[in-house]
């Protein structure tokens, strides 16, 4: 099943190396907007007078767990909205929830509805009047959050614009959806996959254990402050209903990245909410294999099954997606803060244990909590590295429509 969303935007204007999108011109004098853009994307990448982000780069900015602010050639979005240890003033996390509002993203994409992913989404979307993309089940939770925030006088409307990516109760992989939020710059393909879960230990190859611990010095280095108190998300049935997104620029080398904030037991076809069986897992694998070639994978390094199967599940996702670069996400929750390098060690050892050929291993660009918070990860989509002759051959799903639509 395939559905398409269409969003109408104002004209896209260009000035120097910074794009003028929508009402950005009206915000030239807004110091909080400029400060937030520079905080997340780097002062060197943001016009100091308008707050516009440069239009020739794709910039990822990690802000805890699986949450990223992304500028796709100046179009700013959020992938998840959760902030680990959100406080009323910057602390271990070097910004506050209100900075997500000052950043002024044009949309929020939620991987699933658990609080450690969807928290703050209703607040940011309700304050700015921007859409949220999520499963239908998660959108129910977003409306409940919005009503709570409205009743407490935090936002001005009792509802938010939450757009269903998949329908209630759908089987993973049945609905493959095109989202037009970033057209004509980029197309987005989304489908339901599997939330991480625990299954029996795989006996096909050795499993390398993961040591999931925290640096005991962390609380002394970053003593707790006053916690932020907005209502949390994850109510209702939307928690484990998980969406995988692929974003693909329509010009230059069609720079492409995948983001998934959880990694299920795809071999067994099991998620946290249900085990569908190996046939569903195989179908999801085939969908990932049929996507246009992926340059960057922002993928959950942690599965709830890491205690029995280590880093097997993230590697099985990678073997299907075949990214050139892997950046791990889902740290600070499930994975203990400061445990990232433990997972990195196990990841490389598990690749060896599974005999994954060197040419099927992505370049791993590891990030460590909290060292890489808000450190811009900048990519040039016009770099020859991202040019691949097999792109059209791999687009077996026919996703995104004809590429000439977005040429410029």
Which residue do the tokens 């660009």 mark?
A: 365
User: Cα-flanking dihedrals φ and ψ of residue 87, to 5°?
Assistant: -130, 170
β-sheet bridge partners, residue 108: 78, 132
Instruction: Give pLDDT tens digits along the chain (408 positions).
Output: 545 444 433 333 333 444 444 444 444 559 999 999 999 999 999 999 999 999 999 999 999 999 999 999 999 999 999 999 999 999 999 999 999 999 999 999 999 999 999 999 999 999 999 999 999 999 999 999 999 999 999 999 999 999 999 999 999 999 999 999 999 999 999 999 999 999 999 999 999 999 999 889 988 999 999 999 776 554 556 789 999 999 999 998 999 999 999 999 999 999 999 999 999 999 999 999 999 999 999 999 999 999 999 999 999 999 999 999 999 999 999 999 899 999 999 999 999 999 999 999 999 999 999 999 999 999 999 999 999 775 544 555 656 766 544 332
- Structural domains in the chain, CATH included, are 4-387 (3.60.15.10)
Would you state the pLDDT for residue 402?
62
End-to-end CA distance of the chain: 30
Give the CA angle between residues 142, 39, 65 to the nearest 5°.
Answer: 45
Q: Based on the number of CB atoms within 10 Å of its own CB, is 23 exposed (0-12), middle (13-18) or buried (19 or more)? A: exposed
Would you state the pLDDT for residue 400?
72
Would you state the pLDDT for residue 398?
59
Would you state the pLDDT for residue 317?
98
Give the CA angle between residues 53, 57, 59 to the nearest 5°.
Answer: 75
Q: For 60-111, write each residue's pLDDT tens digit.
A: 999 999 999 999 999 999 999 999 999 999 999 999 999 999 999 999 999 9
Strands 243-249 and 256-260, bridge-based pairing: antiparallel
**Residue 76, both tokens:** 């700013």
**Residue 70, both tokens:** 């992304």
- Alpha-carbon distance 263 to 242, whole Å? 9
Strands 186-192 and 243-249, bridge-based pairing: antiparallel
Three-state helix/strand/coil letters over the chain = CCCEECCCCCCCEEECCEEECCCHHHHCCCHHHHHHHHHHHCHHHECCCCCCECCCCEEEEECCCCCEEEEECCEEEEECCCCCCCECCCCCCCCCCHHHHHHCCCCEECCCCCHHHHCCHHHHHHHHCCCEEECHHHHHHHHHHHHHHHHCCCCCCCCCCEEECCCCCCCCCCCEEEECCCCCCEEEEEEECCCCCCCCCCCCCCCCCCCCCCCCCHHHHCCCCCECCCCCCCCCCCCCCCEEEEEEECCCCCCEEEEECCCCECCCCECCCCECCHHHHHHHHHHHHHCCCCCEEEEECCCCCHHHHCCHHHHHHHHHHCCCEEEEECCCCCCCCCCHHHHHHHHHHHHHHCCCCHHHCCEECCCCCCCCCCCCEEECCCCHHHCCCCHHHHCCCCCCCCHHHHCC
0.85 exceeded by the pTM? yes
Which residue do the tokens 């040591």 mark?
A: 211
CB 353, CB 207: distance < 8 Å: yes
Would you state the pLDDT for residue 265?
98
Would you state the pLDDT for residue 231?
60
Q: For 114-165, write each residue's pLDDT tens digit.
A: 999 999 999 999 999 999 999 999 999 999 999 999 999 999 999 999 999 9
Would you state the pLDDT for residue 23?
42
Instruction: Quote the crossing angle between the two packed helices 121-128 and 136-151, to the nearest 10°.
Output: 70
- Alpha-carbon distance 179 to 8, whole Å? 12
- Alpha-carbon distance 75 to 93, whole Å? 24
């Amino acid at each position: 099943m395939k559905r398409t969303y269409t969003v109408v935007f104002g004209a896209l204007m260009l000035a120097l190396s910074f794009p003028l999108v929508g009402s950005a011109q009206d915000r030239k004098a807004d110091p909080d907007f400029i400060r937030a853009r520079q905080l997340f994307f780097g002062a060197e990448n943001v016009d100091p007078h308008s707050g516009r982000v440069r239009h020739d780069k794709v910039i990822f900015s990690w802000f805890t767990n699986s949450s990223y602010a992304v500028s796709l050639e100046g179009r700013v979005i959020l992938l998840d909205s959760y902030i680990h240890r959100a406080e009323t003033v910057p602390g271990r996390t070097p910004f506050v929830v209100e900075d997500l509002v000052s950043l002024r993203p044009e949309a929020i994409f939620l991987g699933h509805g658990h609080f450690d992913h969807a928290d703050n989404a209703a607040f940011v979307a309700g304050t700015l009047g921007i859409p949220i993309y999520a499963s239908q089940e998660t959108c129910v939770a977003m409306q409940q959050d919005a009503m709570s925030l409205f009743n407490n006088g935090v936002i001005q409307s009792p509802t938010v614009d939450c757009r269903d990516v998949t329908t209630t109760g759908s089987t993973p992989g049945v609905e493959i959806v095109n989202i037009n939020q970033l057209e004509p710059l980029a197309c987005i393909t989304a489908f339901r996959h599997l939330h991480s879960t625990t299954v029996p230990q795989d006996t096909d190859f050795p499993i390398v254990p993961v040591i999931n611990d925290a640096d005991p010095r962390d609380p002394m280095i970053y003593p707790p402050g006053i916690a932020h108190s907005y209502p949390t998300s994850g109510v209702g049935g939307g928690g484990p209903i998980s969406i995988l997104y692929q974003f693909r620029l329509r010009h230059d080398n069609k720079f492409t990245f995948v983001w998934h904030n959880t990694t299920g037991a795809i071999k067994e076809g099991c998620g946290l909410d249900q085990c569908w069986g190996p046939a569903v897992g195989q179908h999801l694998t085939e969908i990932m294999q049929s996507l246009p070639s992926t340059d960057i994978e922002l993928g959950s390094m942690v599965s709830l099954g890491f205690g029995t199967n280590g880093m097997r599940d993230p590697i099985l996702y990678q073997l299907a997606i075949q990214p050139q670069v892997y950046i791990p996400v889902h740290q600070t929750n499930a994975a203990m803060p400061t445990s990232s390098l433990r997972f990195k060690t196990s990841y490389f050892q598990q690749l060896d244990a599974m005999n994954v050929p060197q040419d099927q291993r992505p370049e791993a660009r590891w990030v460590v909590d909290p060292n890489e918070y808000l450190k811009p990860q900048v990519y040039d989509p016009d770099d020859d590295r991202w040019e691949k002759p097999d792109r059209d051959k791999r687009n077996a799903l026919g996703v995104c429509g004809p590429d000439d639509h977005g040429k410029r």
